[in-house]
Chains A and B, each alone.
Chain A
Amino acid sequence: MKYTPTIGIECHVQLCTKTKLFSEVDNDARGKEPNSCVSPVDYAMPGMLPRLNGEAIKFAIRAGRAMNCEINAYSRFDRKHYFYPDSPKGYQISQFYHPIIGAGYVELPSSTKVRIEHAHLEGDAGKLTHFDTYSLVDLNRVDTPLIEIVSMPDIHSSKDVHDYCKELWRLMCYAGVTYGDLYNGNMRFDVNVSVAPEGSSESGTRAEVKNLNSFRSAERAAEYEIKRQTKLLEKGEKVVQETRGWNDATGVTTGQRSKEEAKDYRYMPEPDIPPIHLSSEFIDEESAKLPLMPADYRKLFDGVIKSDILEVLLDYPQLMNSLRELSTREDGFLGDGSLAPVVTGLAPSSSVVTSGSPSKASSLVLLISNLFASVLLAEEKSAEYLNDLPTAAELNELAEMNIKKELSSTATKEVFLRLFDPQMKGRGAKQIAKELGLIQENDLGALEKIVDAVLAKPETQKAQADFKAGEEKVIGFLVGQVMKESKGKANPSAVQDILRKKLA
């Protein structure tokens, strides 16, 4: 019998507001001493009054709109009670009955749609570190604003688990609501997996794997669970509904002893925080601040950048913005058309002739995106390389030099890499190319002189004769000689044109 997995995912996203959700305390505790970002509110001193951070509401609106979700005009907070040392209050302030973010969907690159059930605002818990005989409590993370995003069980493969988690990460980063630092737990995933016989109308018993902190571990944990549950069912055994932990080193999930026989959170309305009532104007104003989203870029660059390359570049919102700027530039560089006769071969020449045309913009974008992709894919420089991007103007200058044939493709890549070099930063592509002596000789008169000099040399006579006798491939040797004579600065395709004319 074949079995089909059904998967739903809950994701916690830490919001990058300046202060915490309920206190005026620094929310960015990265690299700070334990318990240094806490106030009596976080410590839950008797008589403390939580005060809601208005910015977190705005962030939630943007996050919701990024997932095509309805924003609920009315929302409010509830207390979720549990007793654990990570929560001095003895309860978490959450939104159980009236969440701020309603239904929506996330579309994966494969165009699979995963519906969002809802998403709500809540405070994070403190951090526990466990030792042999004791645990230590750091309350810096207490009441860092979170949104918890609850998906519908629309996912049916471990690959889609990966893609969904990654797309959520992109959406939240583009929306600017989180630092998106997975290593530091800015996003955590709980994956609910069940397996049922194919075609069965009932879904199977589900197990939940909690606290996965990377796309890859979410994918692997789902894959493991699908296999484990399928095996159980094949043997005629039952899946136990439980919470399981994931061990990244062994690649195995294990059942966790349940702390309480049944969850009993005793929800009650949070009396300290009055309800949120949003006008449609307020919601619209905040929604309008959303920049272009990955789906917009997929449409914008459809047919310009290959989709597998685009999917790599989409991880870098700043880069996508630079590419968009390039694609909309109006200023042309070939206005006089003087270089047109030289432009043959390498560049998509038809697109270079009309300045400011969409096709020219496309060729600029294509060239730059290929450069980025080659660095990201082949050299695996990735993230740290893209922390501080060259400006769109610098990239444009570089692309134009390549298309004008002032730079060979190798030299273009060389200059591109130097644009990130702290030593050369800010000098611009042209200046760097000059300093490195990489600018190609395109002056036809000057090139002709060099060609003439080479053709006059005794060592080229035989090749010239061979070429005239129909031996096509010796042209390569002759071009090479001219390149050598020009110290590598001649434009090889222009040289070839001149040679062919002279030897015709």
Chain B
Amino acid sequence: MDIKREDIKHLAELSEFSLSDAEIDSLQGDLQGIIGYISQLDELDTDNVEPTYQVFEMENVWREDEILPQEADREALLALTKETKDNQIKVPKVL
């Protein structure tokens, strides 16, 4: 699979990253390398193999519906954000 500059731009857009031309070039090379390496797996015939969703073969890991006290309170969590207002996280206008 060939990674084009357009693919990098598309992925950057989906993640709201702005990239310089140099960064796009460098990421294009890196990603091409990674995908190329993984692509070796394409040589295997997986037609009748079930996809692996997880490796521990656990199922039905549920918890009780009980409210538990949380270690981090609102102040601790809001302290991690860049800007707050009225106990909310302030972000550039989005619509």
Interface residues of A (CB under 8 A from B): 17-19, 24-26, 33-36, 38-40, 43, 45, 51-57, 76, 81-85, 90, 128-139, 260, 264, 266, 269, 271, 273-277
Contact = CB atoms under 8 A, between A and B. Distances in A.
A488 B62 CA distance: 66
Contact of B78 (A19, A35, A85, A266): A35
Given A35-B78, A274-B56, A137 B89 contact: yes
A275 B59 contact: yes
A132 B95 CA distance: 11
A43 B93 contact: no
B77 A274 contact: no
Contacts of A277: 59-60
B54 A274 contact: yes
A9 B37 CA distance: 44
A441 to B, nearest CB: 58
Contact of B68 (A24, A130, A260, A266): A24
B95 A130 contact: yes
Nearest to A269: B53
A83 B16 contact: yes
Contacts of B53: 76, 269, 271, 275
Contacts of B51: 269
A17 to B, nearest CB: 5
B38 interface: no
Given A19-B66, A53-B65, A274-B54, A35 B14 contact: no
Contacts of B64: 54-55
Nearest to B78: A35
Nearest to B87: A34
A134 B90 contact: yes
Contact of B62 (A53, A84, A264): A53
Q: How large is the interface on B (under 10, 10 to 19, 20 to 34, 35 or more residues)?
A: 35 or more
- Among all A-B residue pairs, the 6 with the closest Cβ atoms: A54-B62, A55-B65, A24-B68, A136-B88, A137-B89, A274-B58
A81 B63 CA distance: 25
A244 B64 CA distance: 40
Contacts of B87: 33-36
B58 to A, nearest CB: 4
A35 B74 CA distance: 6
Nearest to B88: A136
B86 interface: yes
Given A24-B63, A277-B59, A35 B93 contact: no
B48 interface: no
A276 B67 contact: no
Given A35-B88, A39-B70, A39-B72, 11 more contacts: A18-B66, A24-B68, A38-B70, A38-B74, A53-B62, A83-B14, A83-B16, A84-B94, A90-B15, A260-B14, A274-B59
Nearest to B74: A35
Between B66, B72, B88, the greatest number of chain A beta carbons within 10 A of the residue's beta carbon is seen for B88
A54 B64 CA distance: 6
Contacts of A40: 70-72, 77
16 contacts: A18-B67, A25-B70, A43-B72, A52-B61, A52-B62, A54-B65, A57-B62, A130-B94, A131-B93, A134-B93, A135-B92, A136-B90, A260-B13, A273-B61, A275-B54, A277-B59
